Homo-oligomer: A and B are copies of this chain.
Amino acid sequence: MFTGLSAFPLTPFRDSTVDEQTYAHLIGRLVVAGVDSITALGSTGSYMYLDREERRRIAAAAVRSAGDVPVMVGIGALRTSQVQRLAEDAQQAGASAVILAPVTYQALTPDEVFGLFEDVTAALSVPLVVYDNPGTTHVTFTDDLYERIAALPHVASIKIPGVPPVADAAADRVRTIRDRLPASVSIGVSGDAVAATGLGAGCDLWYSVIGGTLPTLALGITRAALAGDHTAATAESERLTPLWRLFREFGSIRVTAAIAEHLGLVPPDSLPRPVRGLDSDGRARVAQIVEALRFSD
């Protein structure tokens, strides 16, 4: 399960409530495209904006619609006891794995972050992915912290926040992390703009924002990179430079939602307030890129 492309679908909202039917359709598209796994309720899936019941329903819908494709479910929350309940819910819904970011309100010390993973893995039956997402959690993982957490039971993968953009430096970085982890723990790259570089540098999989909405595109990069054709993977990623630029400018979730809205995959105004979609100028730029780069899948 922890190889290839893990696709992060949007959780679409319609009139401020979760649109389960559209969600099931998004999951179906990912299955048809042939992604290796689906991560439901990642940051792109707005997990932190959903209440427990909504998260339970979305997890169940993902598993139901995913068929044989393994589904990982995000279980992050501010309080440990909430995370533990969400882990139970995810497992009951049939999740093949759970993924946990140390979400913060009060800043956490490294010992507190470790304690969270220790408390949660203690009662788990499925593998856990460590979700290192400093842009949203404001937690900085050190390699020491990776090592301590990776030694806990059930920890199966670390989603790292990116790699240096240059191939040699990226390979060094992945090797440095790999040296700290048990052989059973995979490394997944995130930060779509450096995914081709990360896979070329030895990451096992790509935890992908754009793969949740344009799976064929992301699979092209993934398959080329994992087959060792770094030239093709890098060329395709470089073709998408205008997209990565929009990601940096507006945040990947707003741009991905705008693409999905432009393609008619989700209803307009599909993000949970207070997060809003792009303004008309931003949307026009997205539409232009969708057409110029011929996104359609």
Contacts and interface: CB of A to CB of B under 8 A. Distances in A.
Interface of A: 16, 43, 48-49, 51, 78-82, 102-103, 105-109, 111-113, 115-116, 119, 135-136, 138, 251, 253, 272-276
Q: How many copies of the polypeptide does the oligomer hold? A: 2
B275 A136 contact: no
A275 B113 CA distance: 9
A116 B274 contact: yes
B119 A253 contact: no
A119 B273 contact: yes
Contacts of A276: 109, 111-112, 115
Closest 9 CB pairs of A and B: A80-B273, A116-B274, A48-B105, A49-B79, A112-B274, A80-B274, A106-B275, A79-B272, A105-B136
Given A119-B273, A119-B274, 20 more contacts: A16-B81, A48-B78, A48-B105, A79-B272, A79-B273, A81-B273, A102-B274, A103-B105, A106-B136, A106-B251, A106-B253, A106-B275, A108-B274, A108-B275, A111-B276, A112-B276, A113-B274, A115-B274, A115-B276, A116-B274
A103 B274 CA distance: 10
A290 to B, nearest CB: 22
A100 to B, nearest CB: 11
Contacts of A48: 78, 105
13 contacts: A49-B105, A79-B273, A79-B274, A80-B273, A80-B274, A106-B251, A106-B275, A109-B276, A111-B276, A112-B274, A115-B274, A115-B276, A116-B274
A104 to B, nearest CB: 8
A112 B78 contact: no
Given A48-B78, A51-B82, A81-B16, A275 B112 contact: yes
Nearest to A51: B82
A81 B272 CA distance: 9
A101 to B, nearest CB: 9
Contacts of A81: 16, 272-273
A253 B104 CA distance: 14
